[in-house]
């Protein structure tokens, strides 16, 4: 008798799902979004990229990311599509490979715009696939999958450092595109799984009223987007300004290495403390870490800052998206990602007037925004509905 269980569902172990999701997030986020940070100085010195154009390229990526997140909200079927995930990864690899093929600023802008949209779709679909595939397994596995972002940051950062010693900015883009292609091959079989009985649940029962917690979470995650992107844009430059040597040039690698195990650590802590409380704690630690280089000089505060930032920014995303899914708000991952990306567009605009005084005022602004995110997350903690039907929470 033929089994009704799909072959893929029988074959996929939890760690296989983790590996594929981590590879997708490493390619889509760790490389697709963040490799621009370590390559940017090379483009300034070797490709004639001006500071103004460099800022516009970063903004293009933020706008594209918001557009991709909004597409996930407007077309829920896309979030459940393996074809959309694979297409997004292929497009992302192509944009990376095409960056060094031109010196035209307009084409660079378009490529980073498309890359941002592809990154957002990759993130939303991969996270949805991961949450649905791991819903019956230990929650710390989700943390290891999110660690793919940190792995992508660290691997691409190390790759750029190695390549720039023997080649130019073009080789840096091409080698990172090759790395993203390899990760895409690993992630290729990843696909969201249908929620068993989800249709019946929607028609027979009413969703719990959790919107007041979700709105506070959305506000917190949006403020985090503002503060995070200010730090992500200027933290390394601020450290390089005050600290010479390996730490100045390798700060982004330190961030990635700290991010790699952080999500699993935060999810393990979730066995002892509630996720809303941990979200509050991680935001406070991040606010302190962002402010350190602006308040204290020297290598030690710079190193602590890079570690704290790396150890919290993906942990915040892990917990925020997991809390959103738990609250069972429809398309929670896409909604939160849209708020986060809107914050990333606002961040550089708010920080720009402060840059005439150096990077330190911008970092203090970023720290203040993350502290506001912590205040909003405190509202999530109040009478949080910990006990909801777990069968529906992954569907959000």
* Co-location of 287 and 176 in the same domain: no
Question: Does 220 reside within a domain?
Answer: yes
Q: How far apart are CA 394 and CA 396, in angstroms?
A: 5
Within this chain, do residues 150 and 222 fall inside the same structural domain, yes or no? no
Query: What is the number of structural domains in the chain?
Result: 2
b/e map of 298-316 (b: 16 or more CB within 10 Å)? Answer: eeebbbebbbbbbbbbbbb
Chain-centroid distance of CA 287 in Å reads 17
Quote the pLDDT of residue 3. 42
Q: Is residue 267 part of a domain?
A: yes
One domain, residues 31 and 118: yes
Q: Are 110 and 27 in contact (CB under 8 A)?
A: no
Q: Burial code of 237-261, b = ≥16 C-beta within 10 A, e = fewer?
A: bbbbebbeeebbbbbbbbbbbbbbb
Last residue of a domain, one of 156, 179, 194: 194
Residues of the chain with pLDDT under 70: 1-11, 135-140, 194-208, 242, 244-249, 388-396
104 found inside a domain: yes
Instruction: Output the pLDDT for position 394.
Output: 42
| C-alpha atoms less than 13 angstroms from C-alpha of 156 in its C-beta half-sphere | 37
Q: 379 lies in a domain? A: yes
Indicate if 140 and 72 belong to the same structural domain: yes
Q: What pLDDT is attached to residue 279?
A: 95
In a domain, 41, yes or no: yes
**Domain identity same for 111 and 212:** no
Residues 204 and 144 both lie in one domain:
no
Please enumerate in sequence order all residues whose Cβ is within 8 A of that of 341, keeping only pairs 6 or more positions apart, or say none.
62, 65, 66, 69, 120, 225
Q: Which among 167, 194, 221 is the end of a domain?
A: 194
Determine, yes or no, domain membership for 6: no
Q: Which of 144, 171, 194 is the last residue of a domain?
A: 194
Query: Do 102 and 60 fall within a single domain?
Result: yes
pLDDT at 247: 67
For the record, the structure tokens of 268 come out as: 């393990």
- For residues 263 and 316, membership in a common domain is answered with yes
Whether 30 and 87 share a structural domain: yes
pLDDT, tens only, 161-195: 888 888 889 999 999 999 999 999 999 999 877 65
CATH code (residue 181):
1.20.1250.20
- This prediction has a pTM of 0.79
Query: Is residue 57 a contact partner of residue 108, using CB atoms and an 8 Å limit?
Result: yes
- Do 220 and 301 belong to one domain? yes
Are 224 and 358 in a shared domain? yes
Domain that holds residue 249: 195-396
Ordered alpha helix ranges (H), the chain:
7-11, 14-25, 36-46, 51-74, 76-79, 82-98, 105-133, 140-164, 169-187, 198-204, 211-242, 246-269, 275-295, 299-326, 332-351, 360-381, 390-393
- In a domain? residue 7: no
How high is the pLDDT of residue 177?
95
pLDDT number for residue 199: 45
The pLDDT value recorded for residue 135 is: 67
Report pLDDT digits (tens) over 345-360.
888 888 888 877 778 8
Is the Cβ–Cβ distance between 155 and 29 less than 8 Å? Answer: no
- Asked if the structure places residue 274 within a domain, the reply is yes
The token duo for 290 is 């962002």
**282 and 311 inside one domain:** yes
């Amino acid at each position: 008798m033929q089994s009704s269980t799909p072959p893929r569902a029988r074959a996929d172990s939890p760690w296989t799902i983790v590996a594929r999701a981590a590879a997708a997030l490493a390619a889509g986020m760790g490389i697709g979004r963040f490799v621009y940070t370590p390559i940017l100085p090379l483009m300034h010195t070797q490709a004639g990229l001006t500071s103004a154009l460099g800022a516009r390229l970063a903004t293009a990526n933020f706008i594209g990311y918001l557009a991709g997140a909004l597409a996930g909200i407007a077309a829920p079927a896309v979030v459940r599509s393996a074809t959309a995930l694979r297409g997004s990864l292929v497009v992302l690899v192509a944009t990376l490979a095409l960056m060094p093929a031109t010196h035209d600023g307009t084409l660079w802008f378009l490529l980073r715009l498309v890359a941002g949209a592809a990154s957002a779709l990759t993130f939303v679909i991969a996270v949805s696939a991961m949450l649905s595939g791991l819903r019956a397994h230990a929650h710390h596995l989700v943390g290891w999958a999110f660690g793919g972002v940190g792995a992508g940051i660290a691997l691409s950062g190390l790759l750029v450092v190695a390549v720039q010693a023997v080649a130019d900015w073009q080789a840096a883009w091409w080698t990172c595109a090759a790395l993203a292609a390899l990760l895409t091959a690993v992630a290729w079989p990843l696909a969201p799984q249908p929620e068993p009985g989800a249709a019946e649940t929607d028609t027979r029962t009413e969703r719990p009223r959790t919107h007041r917690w979700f709105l506070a979470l959305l506000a917190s995650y949006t403020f985090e987007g503002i503060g995070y992107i200010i730090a992500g844009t200027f933290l390394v430059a601020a450290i390089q300004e005050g600290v010479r040597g390996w730490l100045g040039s390798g700060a982004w690698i330190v961030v990635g290495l700290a991010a790699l195990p952080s999500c699993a650590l935060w999810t393990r802590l979730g066995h002892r403390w509630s996720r809303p409380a941990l979200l509050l704690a991680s935001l406070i630690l991040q606010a302190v870490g962002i402010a350190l280089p602006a308040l204290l000089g020297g290598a030690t505060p710079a190193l602590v800052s890079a570690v704290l930032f790396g150890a919290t920014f993906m942990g915040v995303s892990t917990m925020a998206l997991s809390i959103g899914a738990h609250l069972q708000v429809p398309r929670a991952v896409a909604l939160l990602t849209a708020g986060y990306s809107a914050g990333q567009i606002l961040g550089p605009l708010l920080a720009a007037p402060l840059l005439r005084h150096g990077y330190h005022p911008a970092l203090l602004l970023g720290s203040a925004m993350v502290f506001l995110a912590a205040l909003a997350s405190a509202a999530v903690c109040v009478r949080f509905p910990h006990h909801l039907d777990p069968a529906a929470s992954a569907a959000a």
